Amino acid sequence: MDFQEILDSSFWGNTIENYLWFSGIILLAVVFKRFISKKLGNLIFKLFKKDKSDGVGADHFFELMIKPVEFLIVLVGLSFAVSTLNFPDPPEEELGLGGVIDLLIQISIVVSVTWSLLRLIDFFGLVLLRRAEKTEGTTDDQIIQFLKEALKIFTYIFSFLFILGAVFKLNIGAMVAGLGIGGLAIALAAQDTLENVIASFIIFLDKPFKQGDYISVSGAKGVVERIGFRSTRIRTLEKSYLTIPNKMLISDVLDNLSLRTFRRSKFYIGLVYSTTQDQIKSIVSEIQKYLDDHEMTNEDGLVRFEEFGDSSLNIMVLLYVDTQQYAEFLEVLEDVNFQIMEIVKRNGSDFAFPSTTVYLQKE
């Protein structure tokens, strides 16, 4: 038996030559996927990226695109490899094994192209964000994030409809027209999503806050890190990452703490009952003068001898610190507390602590 006769030997409806072509094409696709993807990536990068001054180079592009492009190359190779095999004819109105495999490959190719488009959107978003970092405001950053998410959603929808129309050969227009009650059910199920999308447009136009602002809503406080198409992400002081639906941000009371002019602090200091009236007046006067003269507090601060406590003479201290940064606010409070300690000691008084005096009377 010569070599050609061996190649012509048939198993399960295909010759050995068919199986060799099938295996060879897949092997070539797997071996050369990285090489082809880099060449293709270089070509795409040169077409879409001519200005490298924003700091986003080819490394960033390949890091995003290499996996989906390699997956697409393998699928294309698999499609050519499958075409070299013969499959049994299916019964009428049935796909058969060959039809099912071809259908799965087509769906996978659409998914890989969608994956590549999403990564390409991420790349363009990264380029635009790097350029937006050079501007003073954060409005352009917010617009870029908003548009990037919108493009991704439209890409998902288009890919899904393309699979239904081009792969499954369905009439999309007839499907939409024939939804009827099913369409109403879908609309009701998507009501919350639609409300959040509309809320995102309201936030974008009304601008109650922007990225980097410190906000408080429904008991949650944090710094806005991302304003999305459906939700907004904030980072709390505990460093947790909260996701808040956009409709909540426009329906509930929202406090943009970054827009306040001062940070307020109110506390009490308790002096021992042995403190004289003149000592109290001197302590109150010196603390008040210190707050009025401090460069980080305004003149609305108040220091008053307010009440007789159970075990102390209580002085109320109210001050407003001219800063929006929480760390700087704490530094000012620390300076104020140290100065109050010096003032109290200098006037011959001391701080009280909870205590009880028991008097015993002998009859």
Instruction: Give the range among 69-83, 122-136, 211-225 with minimum mean pLDDT.
Output: 122-136
Same domain, 158 and 95: yes
- Nearest-angstrom CA–CA distance, 335 and 318: 15
The rounded distance, in Å, linking the Cα atoms of 301 and 320 is 6
* Consecutive H or E run containing 266: strand 263-271
Q: What is the pLDDT of residues 10-31, one digit of tens each?
A: 776 677 777 788 888 888 888 8
Q: Give Cβ neighbours of residue 233 (< 8 Å, ≥ 6 apart).
A: 224, 225, 226, 241, 242, 243, 244
d(CA 321, CA 10): 88
Number of other residues whose CB lies within 10 A of the CB of residue 187: 11
Same domain membership, residue 122 and residue 84? yes
Same domain, 235 and 328: no
User: Does residue 8 sit in the same domain as residue 133?
Assistant: yes
Q: Is 31 in the same domain as 155?
A: yes
At 275 the pLDDT is 94
DSSP string, 69-124: HHHHHHHHHHHHHHTTS--PPPPTT--HHHHHHHHHHHHHHHHHHHHHHHHHHHHH
- Domain of 121 in residue numbering reads as 3-178
- 140 and 221 housed in the same domain: no
Mean pLDDT score across all residues of the chain? 82
246 and 152 inside one domain: no
Tell me how many domains the chain contains.
3
In a domain, 197, yes or no: no
Q: Are residues 20 and 131 in the same domain?
A: yes
**pLDDT tens digits, 204-216:** 888 888 888 889 9
> For residue 53, is pLDDT > 50?
no
Global confidence as pTM: 0.58
- Residue 310 belongs to a domain with what CATH number? 3.30.70.100
Q: Which has the minimum average pLDDT: 30-39, 125-134, 309-318?
A: 125-134
Express each pLDDT in 267-284 by its tens digit.
Answer: 999 999 999 999 999 999
pLDDT average, residue stretch 197-208: 84
SS (H, E, C) 286-355: HHHHHHHHCCCECCCCEEEEEEECCCCEEEEEEEEECCCCHHHHHHHHHHHHHHHHHHHHHCCCCECCCC
Asked whether residue 357 is domain-assigned, the answer is: no
Is the distance from CB of 78 to CB of 102 less than 8 angstroms?
Answer: no
Pair (106, 40) in one structural domain: yes
In whole angstroms, give the CA distance from residue 115 to residue 95: 27
Answer whether residue 189 is part of any domain: no
**337 & 291 share domain:** yes
Residue 224 sits in a domain whose CATH number is 2.30.30.60
Question: Is residue 362 very low, low, confident or very high in pLDDT (cuts 50, 70, 90)?
Answer: confident
Residue 177, pLDDT score = 61
**One domain for residues 224 and 109:** no
Q: Residue 49 has what pLDDT?
A: 60
Write down which residue in 197, 229, 259 finishes a domain. 259
Is residue 20 within a helix (H) or strand (E), and if so which, with residue range?
Answer: helix 16-48
User: Both 166 and 106 in a single domain?
Assistant: yes
Is residue 360 a part of any domain in this protein?
Answer: no
